[in-house]
Amino acid sequence: MSALQAAPPVPRRRVALYSHDTQGLGHVRRNIEIARALLAERPDTDVLLLSGAPEAARLPRPEQAGLVVLPSVSKSRSGEYAATQPGLGLAEVLRLRGAMVASAIEHFRPDVLVVDKEARGLRGELDPALAVARRTTGAGGRRTRLVLGLRDVLDTPLTARREWESAGTTRTLRSSYDAVWVYGDPRVHDLGDACGLPRDVRAMMRFTGYLAEGRHHGPRATYADGAPYVLCLVGGGQDGADLADAFVRAPLPRGHRGVVVTGPYMPRAARDALDVLAGTRDDLSVLGFVDDTPGLIDGAAAVVTMGGYNTVCELLASGRPGLVVPRVVPRLEQAVRADELARRTHLDALHPDEASADAVGAWLADAVGRDGGAHDLDLGGLTRLPALLDQLLEEIDDATA
């Protein structure tokens, strides 16, 4: 090549991130953090987020991350799914969602598609998209690579194995996927052992460490008029009313305000009841939606929270004292996580049946005088993901060379 000849342009990398998001914002929040990590390492990347949570549009995301919001599906406390749009049945909505994802993959042509939690999507809605992805060449000229991303805990080992088999996850991984990323530390919970996975599937698994350190922080906001505060988080809020009620009724540590974040999905009647209770006190604030949970946690003297993956990661990264009151219906994922982390870190765990106002108040009184404890868990998953992505694409190049 002569000095006057320009090198051919290097194509921008494309990554698609799917999450079904039937309950809360945890899945799409995790994918947004993954997008940030990939973009920080390689700014010449375009990301497409595919989410079933309408509120995803309210979350801050990188400029290079587009968003497709799928028609929403709700999940009841008993674990049953239903279409949220009147006049449409669940089967119709799933067909529509599946067609939208398949079309997005066909036209966006990602180099890598990362699927959150469900290898076939919600009730198999990704089957058309997986077929499209298998015959798609990404924008960089490589075949599209597929990754299943799993949080640290799925459920109790027995339930996780049963659901894994019922969904045909092993069969789908063998036919369609190239890698499995587990967003956790195997010393806490080893999914391969818990699910009794076959050797070839375990060979696909890479434990990334918790996606904890390096999460996005927005501009520091004041939530308690500058006073020290203790915090209560209940995830999306669908089933967080009891914990929020206990916190609002609890005696607060002297000199501290209380801040409760109800989440966007708390039923209106429950939210109204909290507002009435908070109105009887001058040391409480009730917020509906906050787009910078890590910053809110960092500023708190102590945190009472449900046990969702993202919030626990943010707690671990902050080092703040935390009491985890896990969801126990319809699955025990949060309870398994809370118990395991309570044994290995500074976090405490309390069963929701025991989370009375007095119990929460007693824990807060002790916690505000504590420093965060030390632990040796791997919290560096976000910094590790770009290298895992590079490794996937290099394996494609080596295989086709």
The pLDDT of residue 10 is 62
Verify that 122 and 261 share a domain, yes or no: no
**Average pLDDT for the chain:** 92
**Any domain includes 373:** no
82 vs 102, higher pLDDT:
102
**Any domain includes 374:** no
Verify that 52 and 182 share a domain, yes or no: yes
**Any domain includes 6:** no
The arithmetic mean of pLDDT across residues 109-130, rounded, is: 96
Measured between alpha carbons, how far is 292 from 192 in angstroms, rounded to an integer? 33
pLDDT band at residue 31 under the 50/70/90 scheme = very high
Verify that 254 and 148 share a domain, yes or no: no
Task: Give the phi and the psi of residue 122 in degrees, each rounded to 5.
Answer: -70, 115
Query: What is the greatest pairwise CA distance in the chain?
Result: 78
Residue type, position 47, single letter: V
Measured between alpha carbons, how far is 122 from 81 in angstroms, rounded to an integer? 10
The pLDDT of residue 8 is 54
**Any domain includes 250:** yes
**Any domain includes 5:** no
Query: In terms of residue numbers, what domain contains 330?
Result: 229-367
The arithmetic mean of pLDDT across residues 200-205, rounded, is: 97
Verify that 107 and 183 share a domain, yes or no: yes
Cβ atoms 101, 95 nearer than 8 A: no
pLDDT band at residue 271 under the 50/70/90 scheme = very high
The arithmetic mean of pLDDT across residues 183-208, rounded, is: 96
Verify that 278 and 385 share a domain, yes or no: no
Verify that 172 and 136 share a domain, yes or no: yes
The pLDDT of residue 138 is 87
pTM: predicted TM-score of the whole model, two decimal places: 0.93
The pLDDT of residue 371 is 79
Measured between alpha carbons, how far is 144 from 141 in angstroms, rounded to an integer? 9
**Any domain includes 219:** no
CATH code: domain of residue 39? 3.40.50.2000
The pLDDT of residue 219 is 62
Verify that 190 and 233 share a domain, yes or no: no
Measured between alpha carbons, how far is 43 from 101 in angstroms, rounded to an integer? 24
The pLDDT of residue 401 is 44
Task: Give the phi and the psi of residue 254 in degrees, each rounded to 5.
Answer: -55, 135
Give the number of residues written for the chain: 401
124 vs 86, higher pLDDT:
124
Task: Count the helices and strands in the chain (H runs, E runs).
Answer: 14, 15
Phi-psi category of 379—alpha, beta or left, where left has phi over 0 and alpha has psi -120 to 50?
A: alpha
Verify that 53 and 183 share a domain, yes or no: yes
Verify that 108 and 165 share a domain, yes or no: yes
Cβ atoms 181, 204 nearer than 8 A: no
Verify that 41 and 185 share a domain, yes or no: yes
Start-to-end Cα distance in the chain = 22
Beta bridge partners of 261: 233, 287
Task: Give the phi and the psi of residue 185 in degrees, each rounded to 5.
Answer: -110, 120
Beta bridge partners of 262: none
SS3 130: helix
For 63-117, the DSSP string reads TTEEEEEPPPEEE-TTS-EEESSTT--HHHHHHHHHHHHHHHHHHH--SEEEEES
Number of domains in the chain: 2
Query: How many CA atoms are closer than 13 Å to the CA of 285, on its beta-carbon side?
Result: 18
Verify that 204 and 257 share a domain, yes or no: no
**Any domain includes 336:** yes
Verify that 44 and 181 share a domain, yes or no: yes
**Any domain includes 4:** no
The arithmetic mean of pLDDT across residues 196-203, rounded, is: 96
Distances 99 to 75, 106, 124, 125, 323 between C-alpha atoms, Å: 21, 10, 12, 8, 42
Measured between alpha carbons, how far is 372 from 375 in angstroms, rounded to an integer? 10
Q: Dihedral of the CA atoms 121, 236, 56, 82 (nearest 10)?
A: 40
Task: Give the phi and the psi of residue 175 in degrees, each rounded to 5.
Answer: -90, -25
pLDDT band at residue 87 under the 50/70/90 scheme = confident
The pLDDT of residue 247 is 98
Q: What are the pLDDT digits (tens) for 37-55?
A: 999 999 999 999 999 998 8
